């Protein structure tokens, strides 16, 4: 492998890694926790304030499988998860 090919490959890997960091830090989620007709809670999560991707889900004790599903969501996608017998509706806004 030539030096230029090696450098090109290295720069592509670096660019991809930087892109992934920028992508996670710009993600915004709307979460609605639905415990019944009279007990709903909604909030907005901006991942700019976290040190690593999906840190907010880890803190709330979502399973690894749930975190992986949410991490793969595209913009404007909605997913419904059940955590401790409570419905969590997540919308990826950005």
* Residue 64 confidence class, pLDDT cut points 50, 70, 90: very high
How long is the chain? 94
Residue 16: in which H helix or E strand, if any? helix 3-25
Summarised one tens digit per residue, pLDDT across range 40-62 is 889 888 888 788 888 989 999 99
Query: What does pTM read for this prediction?
Result: 0.67
3-state secondary structure 40-67: EEEEEEEHHHCCCCCHHHHHCCCCHHHH
What are the distances in angstroms from CA 47 to CA 3, 8, 84, 92, 93?
Answer: 38, 31, 24, 11, 12
| pLDDT at position 91 over 60 | yes
- 24 pLDDT more than 50: no
C-alpha 56/C-alpha 25 separation (Å) is 12
Domain boundaries, the chain: 3-92
């Amino acid at each position: 492998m030539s030096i230029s090919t090696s450098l090109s490959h290295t720069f592509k890997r670096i660019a991809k890694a930087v892109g992934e960091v920028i992508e996670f830090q710009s993600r915004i989620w709307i979460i609605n926790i639905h415990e019944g007709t009279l007990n709903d809670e909604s909030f907005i999560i901006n991942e700019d304030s976290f040190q690593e991707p999906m840190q907010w889900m880890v803190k709330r004790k979502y399973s690894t499988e749930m975190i992986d599903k949410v991490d793969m969501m595209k913009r404007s996608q909605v997913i419904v998860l059940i955590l401790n017998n409570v419905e969590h509706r997540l919308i990826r806004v950005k």
